[in-house]
Amino acid sequence: MSTRKFLAILSTLLIVAMVLVACGGATTEEEPPPPTEAPAVEAPAEEAPVDEPLGETGPGTYLERAQSGEFAGSALTIMGVWPDEEAETFREAFAPFVESTGINVTFEGSADFETLIIVRTEAGDPPDIAVFPQPGLMADFSRRGILADHSQIFDPDILANDYGETWTELATIDGVLAGIPYRVQTKSLVFYEPAKWAEFGYEPPESWDEMVTLMDAMVANGHIPWCIPLESSGATGWVATDWVEEIVLRTAGPETYDQWVSHEVPFSDPQIKSAVEEMGNIWLNPDYVLGGTTGILTTWIGDVNALFDPPETGCMMHRQAGWITAFFPEGVDPETDSAFFYFPPIDPAQGSPVLGAGDIASAFNMDPEVRAFMEYLTTPEAAESWVRAGGLISPNSRVPLDWYESDLTRTQAEILQNASVLRFDASDLMPGAVGTGSFWTGMVDYVNGADLDEVLQTIDNTWPTE
């Protein structure tokens, strides 16, 4: 589990089944509680690597030297959050690199990634590469000089052309390129069962007002509009922060969203409070949510069975990222038995923004085999191995949509590629004491009935002063 929400998603969900993806038939493993802040980690006491000249484009790059056999027999380690099935998918994705270079690559996946990566680094034994599901922790490591300057491997301008401004900026910390975006997920999705909707003539809404009208029509028919499971062990709360982030983007806009992430706009600001209240109009209405607030607080995030239950006992909608299909009940085919629509816009002036999340791969050293592997991760071939192995969406713009063999993932990739406004999960970008600390717990308190003004002020009070 990570200091930031996206790791919480993956670490909880990917343990159970291959999520995918992001941002199923589930076993609920206990997750460690999120640390309030990544402790000050010093760079391991070892001799600084001697910078080697970059290979030129074309013959002589580290990847091509590796593929010629120059580094065969060497080894590197990668550490990430993905255990079990997801780890196997990642291994499939880099198998072509191993086969073409003779470099031995070991992947270590753990739901305790955040804790382990800190412990390993403090002990002077970091992996060669880490795949960070949350950019905040990656940023902490970069600012302390622990990660390599990836501009020694990549031309940032070329990287920006392949990945776009949003994802490249996410991997750039205080002007230093600290990694590369590897995979992403679309969060702004609402899943439903088409057959059940067709029976009652329900249609996907295209605006917030249409969605409110739809919810009221469902209630009038004796149906419960939403399943909103929130319980996520030590990570409980991130589902609520996702909703708030979606609404802030749709009401206050991306500029205010960015200022909120940096605390130029505090949580107590009327725009942020209004977004939480808009969420509360749904969450705190017992007619709108299966089981009311008790159901929200006690239902595990991977339990989506009620979405496919009969309309008189189940629910009609579930807002979640694309990975949720991995938790659909046995016998449910995500391609034919489910569909999704875009979480609708609210203020037309703010357009139709998309909330996303994803992973950033960062190297801890500049060893030749590490450079070669990092170069490999930026190639369309590596992305193709990933998407065809069933992984999540590649942020690389050179990856064509027809490589996605699932209509669900292809549509999500298209939504991301076409988004006019794209923002990363806010709580993953905030300091750990807030993003995976007081923001999560504060939203749980609000759902439990706490005064909203007091909750928001408490969150503001936990923002680090340094």
Domains of the chain: 5-40+52-186+355-424 (3.40.190.10), 191-354+427-461 (3.40.190.10)
Q: Measured between alpha carbons, how far is 41 from 144 in angstroms, rounded to an integer?
A: 7
- What is the per-residue pLDDT for 83? 62
- The alpha carbons of the chain give a radius of gyration, in whole angstroms, of 22
- What is the per-residue pLDDT for 112? 79
Task: Give the tens place of pLDDT for each residue, 202-222.
Answer: 999 999 999 999 999 999 999
Enumerate residues 6+ apart whose C-beta is below 8 A from 112.
1, 11, 32
Helix pair angle (452-461, 439-447), 10° resolution? 170
- What is the per-residue pLDDT for 391? 60
Calculate the alpha carbon distances from 325 to 82, 318, 338 in Å. Answer: 17, 11, 9
Q: Measured between alpha carbons, how far is 374 from 147 in angstroms, rounded to an integer?
A: 13
- What is the per-residue pLDDT for 242? 96
- Within 13 A of 293's CA, how many CA atoms are on the CB side? 14
Closest Cα partner for 140 from 110, 173, 108?
Answer: 173
- What is the per-residue pLDDT for 390? 60
Q: Measured between alpha carbons, how far is 319 from 228 in angstroms, rounded to an integer?
A: 8
- What is the per-residue pLDDT for 413? 84
Closest Cα partner for 181 from 391, 374, 7?
Answer: 374
- What is the per-residue pLDDT for 221? 97
- What is the per-residue pLDDT for 389? 63
For 392-422, the DSSP string reads -B---TTS-GGG--SHHHHHHHHHHHH-SSE
Calculate the alpha carbon distances from 64 to 88, 95, 191 in Å. Answer: 26, 16, 44
- What is the per-residue pLDDT for 65? 95
CA 83 centroid distance within chain: 16
Residues 384/33, Cβ–Cβ less than 8 Å: no
- What is the per-residue pLDDT for 155? 84
Give mean pLDDT in consecutive 10-residue pieces for the chain, a chain of 466 residues: 40 34 35 40 39 41 94 95 70 88 91 86 94 84 92 84 82 91 88 96 97 98 97 90 97 96 97 98 98 96 95 96 88 93 94 88 96 91 73 78 82 80 88 90 97 98 90
